[in-house]
Structure formats: structure tokens, C-alpha cells
Amino acid sequence: MVIDTQSPQYQQYLNGIDTIGTYYAPRLKLFAKLPVEKKKLWLQKDPLLRKLLKLSYDLHEWAEQHRNEVQI
């Protein structure tokens, strides 16, 4: 598979990940310290965080299953 890392779409995705990381890093530290009920309320009000956490869980599961195949 050939991935064009110079394509505008690829660069947009790459920049988007950086932007989301910068935006959410301090918020995730706060989120982690909250009691479960407050986390649930936050997630109800923040669809981007819900999708980000779901993606993180899915990536973690995939990485665990393929740990020996992929070296980062």
C-alpha cells in the first residue's frame, strides 16, 4: 500500500490530530481527576471527546492484538 504523506488530505488529518492533542491534553488531565458521574456528564455534553475516547479504546485494542506484528 502506498500512502501519499504529502497529499493535502493526509496533511490535514495530521494537523488535525496535532490540534486535537493540543486542545485536549490539559482537559484530559482534568477529566481524569473527576468522579465518574461528572465524567459521564462531560461525555454527554462533548461529542468530540466521546469520539476521541472511543477511537483511543479501539486503537488500544487493536495495538494489543497486534503487538508482536508492529513496532513503533
- Tell me the three-class secondary structure of the chain, residue by residue: CCCCCCCHHHHHHHHHHHHHHHHHHHHHHHHHHCCHHHHHHHHHHCHHHHHHHHHHHHHHHHHHHCCCCCCC
Mean pLDDT of 13-27: 95
Residue 15's pLDDT band (boundaries 50, 70, 90)?
Answer: very high
pLDDT digits (tens, 9 = 90+) for 29-72: 999 999 999 999 999 999 999 999 999 999 999 999 998 887 77
**Number of neighbours of residue 28 by Cβ within 10 angstroms:** 15
pLDDT at 29: 96
Task: Provide the residue ranges of all domains of the chain, joining segments of one domain with +.
Answer: 8-65
